[in-house]
Amino acid sequence: MSEYDYTDTSTAAYEEDHLISLELGGSPTDPRNLWPEPYTASLADGRPTGAHIKDGFETKLKSEVCGGTISLVQAQVEIGDHWVHAFYGIAIAAPSATPMPVSATPTPTATTASVAPPPVPVASLSVQITSLPASINHGANATMVALTSPGATCSASVTYASGTVSTAAGLQTHPLADSAGSVSWTWKVGTSTKPGTSTATVTCMLGDGTASDTLDFQVT
């Protein structure tokens, strides 16, 4: 607690937290994955960021991983150093921590209850859809991968030939790009989807910067 400069030194005010939770593949004993997490903490605007809030977010991410809507690596990125940003959808103006393999974890920051850095212009922000099948059968699963700046918050949408915008669960997530700038979505193309040319769009935000990319594909 002294290393984190906590003024409240009562052990009852903290839990020994796994930064990357065990249910998301975090190490149970690595000192880099252990830190004293306050039960009571909040952002400057009053939004709570205490231990129980993070516990609930961990469970939500585990359900999404088990449901196939996000990858384990993406869940580890979201629950890492910048979990408060991911939980509340706060853009970060600096690259996120390197996503760790299951056996390794990053060093936690001194405080996860701090206010997000003020947005700064990111003139170089760009997005490129790097992987998307040219043709997808209706009823099949599709995966789209995009490349942007590390730490960017991204969203995806798909408009089918009928003009309908997909509401597939796999497209409803807003993941953070990993340390390589990669971000991905996997969703199911409905069995009743009309064949024809469809359009996928990825939009990413980082600081004050926003960038988008679109790519057409065929539903057969």
pLDDT tens, residue by residue, 10-62: 999 999 999 999 999 888 888 888 999 999 988 888 889 999 999 999 999 99
Per-domain residue ranges of the chain: 1-114, 128-219
Residue 113 has pLDDT above 60, yes or no: no
Residue 198 has pLDDT above 90, yes or no: yes
Instruction: With CA atoms as reference, report the closest residue to 113 among 207, 35, 196.
Output: 35
Residue type, 159: T
Q: How far apart are CA 203 and CA 210, in angstroms?
A: 7
Q: What confidence score (pLDDT) does residue 93 get?
A: 59
The CATH architecture annotation of domain 128-219 reads Single Sheet (2.20)
Which residues have C-beta within 8 Å of that of residue 155, sequence separation ≥ 6? 174, 202, 203, 204
State pTM to two decimals: 0.47
Residue-wise pLDDT for 65-87, tens only, equals 999 999 988 888 889 888 998 88
pLDDT band (50, 70, 90) for residue 173: confident
